[in-house]
Amino acid sequence: MSQTILIESSEDLKKIFALNLNTFVGTDVIHRKNADDTIELLRILPQVGLVITQAKVGTEETALKIYQFIKSENLAIAVIVLGTCKSISGEVMCLQEPVSWEILIKQAAEHLGVNLQDSIGKVRPDFLPVGVHYFYDISKTPCDVYIRIKKGPSEYQFVKRIHSKDVFDKASIQKYEDQGLKEFYIPKDYIQYFTTFVTNNLIQKLEREDLNIEERIIITANAHEIVRESIQAIGFDDASIELSDASINSMVKSVKNSPQVAELLKFLFSNKVSYSYQHCHLLALMCHYVLSKQSWYRPEHLETLSFVSFFSDVTLKSNSQMRISTMRDLNQSNLTDEEKRQVMTHAKDAVVLMANHPDANDYIKTVLIQSHGKIDGIGIEENPGEDLHPLSKVFIVSDVFVKILLNPSMPSSKKDILPILSARFTNASYQKIIKALEQKFQ
Ligand SMILES: [Fe+2]
């Protein structure tokens, strides 16, 4: 589904516009208050398709500021202005106030390449966007693939770029990316066919035994990204369950045969692996280190903790959210109230999602809900107590270790991180876990 940012101060109009945009244009509406918080979001979500904004919020030249940002960053994001903004009226669509929702959805549909169909109001976008990374692990596609080109200030055209019989490699996809392309477009009727094709290809690759460790990590990281996006868009379906199973198995294999942490970090950074997968992979690895030192350790414990690592932050949308490790981090962050709320409840939200995953057993759900030290999965407990499950304790300490390791403004040497953990987790069983990590790094 495309995404649209809406800046509208009137609560009534906000509701009417959002509801109709969602129903008739099939776009996800994200509310923002002003130019600054819109720009902040565009920096992390450049795939937003459209910004609809009041010309001014208070005295701020909101439309102008946002338009200038989009232009300076060369983003293919259309802007519709509610009201008059003379300085850019030649370049963007300005709708005279009062703006009726019928006119707004007509304009939004045109900008997003959606055909507003019959009187029932059913929408039929002709093309749907898919991230460039969907093409990393395939060498052909089951259907023609298009790119979106700007035709005029408010019109787009879809041009065929890959034919269904073409064979391509990752380098040729990267060339598109180097030119700034973030998404290809698939004809709507083929989208299911296309995603199933990509999923099956990825599963086949992940299940290969002859992959070297680097190949395995890169493919698993890509699969992790695709699973996250799919879950955030539609929740679990058969394809994402199958793909996540294959990914977790593959991750467990690479964790068992992992290179040293320093070498692994270098590889993760130089291959532009996403923060979410860096975190997920290193977390599973640290859990493996700690578990292997426990007398009670059984192989299924690593499977449980790898499963939880894979999904623990799956509902979070941005790296800034995923980096939060204390309530202080959260309070001092620039996140919006809604984004903070998402961080506060993400442990609980992940457990709710798991209701639709057949492999999520009670151990997995317990560790997941306790993953930030709270029994009810809401908030962050910095110094959790002894009442948590032993596997949760291993997970929590490993999670904080990895968050510090990946934070550029915190120490990166294992020797410096361990005392920080020691000061934070004062209870006896947590101290033992820290000792186990210490032994690993001696
Ligand atoms: Fe988390």
State both tokens at 128.
């749907």
Q: From ligand 1's centre to the CA of 193, what distance in Å?
A: 33
* Domain count within the chain: 3
Same domain, yes or no, for 309 and 416? yes
Report which DSSP code applies to 259.
P
In the reported structure, the alpha carbon of residue 225 is separated from the centroid of ligand 1 by a whole-number distance in angstroms of 16
| DSSP-derived 3-state class of residue 184 | strand
| Separation between Cα atoms, residue 60 and residue 56, nearest integer Å | 5
Ligand 1 centroid distance, CA of 437 (Å):
20
Residues 435 and 385 in one domain: yes
- Measured in Å, residue 322 CA sits from the centre of ligand 1 at 7
Distance CA 357, CA 191 (A): 23
Q: In which band, very low, low, confident or very high, does the pLDDT at 26 lie, cut at 50, 70 and 90?
A: confident
From the CA of 2, how far away is ligand 1's center (Å)? 26
Instruction: Say if strands 93-95 and 78-82 run parallel, antiparallel, or are unpaired.
Output: parallel
Dist. CA 373 → ligand 1 center (Å):
10
How close is the Cα of 22 to the center of ligand 1, in Å?
Answer: 30
Domain match, 245 and 356 both: yes
Residue 319 corresponds to which amino acid? N
Give the residue from 99, 124, 149 where a domain finishes.
Answer: 124
**Residues 222, 244: contact at Cβ < 8 Å?**
no
Residue 124 has pLDDT above 70, yes or no: no
What is the Å distance from ligand 1's center to 312 Cα? 5
DSSP character string of 82-147: ES--GGGTTTSEEEPSSPPHHHHHHHHHHHHTEEE-STT--EEESEEEEEGGGGTT-SS-SS-EEE
Average pLDDT value for residue range 328-337: 93
What are the φ and ψ backbone dihedral angles of 181, each rounded to 5 degrees? -75, 130
- At residue 125 the predicted structure's pLDDT band, cuts being 50, 70 and 90, is low
Ligand 1 geometric centre to CA of 266 (Å):
24
The last residue of a domain, from among 60, 90, 124:
124
Q: What is the pLDDT of residue 90?
A: 85
How confident is residue 313, by pLDDT bands cut at 50, 70 and 90? very high
Mean pLDDT, all residues of the chain: 90
What is the Å distance from ligand 1's center to 441 Cα? 24
The predicted pLDDT at position 196 comes to 87
Between the CA of 436 and the centroid of ligand 1 the distance, in Å, is 22
Predicted local distance difference test score (pLDDT) of residue 154? 64
The least confident of 35-49, 106-120, 227-241 is 106-120
Q: Domain with 302 in it: what CATH number?
A: 1.10.3210.10
Same domain (yes/no): 155, 107: no
The pLDDT, as a whole number, for residue 119 is 33
Average pLDDT of the segment spanning 266-285: 93
216 C-alpha to center of ligand 1: Å? 24
Q: pTM score, two decimals? A: 0.72
Domain, as residue range, for 228: 207-441
212 three-class SS: coil
Calculate how far, in angstroms, residue 226's C-alpha sits from the geometric centre of ligand 1: 19
Span from the CA of 371 to the centroid of ligand 1 (angstroms): 6
> With the CA atoms of 103, 108, 109 and 110 taken in that order, what torsion angle do they form, in degrees rounded to the nearest 10?
90
Lowest mean pLDDT among 323-332, 346-355, 376-385: 346-355
**C-alpha of residue 260 to centroid of ligand 1, in Å:** 24
Last residue of a domain, one of 94, 124, 154: 124
Lowest-pLDDT range of 113-122, 279-288, 359-368, 413-422 = 113-122
CA 272 to ligand 1 center in whole angstroms: 21
Residues 308 and 409 in one domain: yes
Tell me, in angstroms, the distance from the centre of ligand 1 to residue 382's CA.
13
Do 317 and 411 fall into the same domain?
A: yes
pLDDT value at residue 118 = 44
Measured in Å, residue 411 CA sits from the centre of ligand 1 at 20
Domain CATH code at residue 30: 3.40.50.2300
Q: What is the structure's pLDDT at 423?
A: 97
Distance 399 CA to ligand 1 centre (A): 8
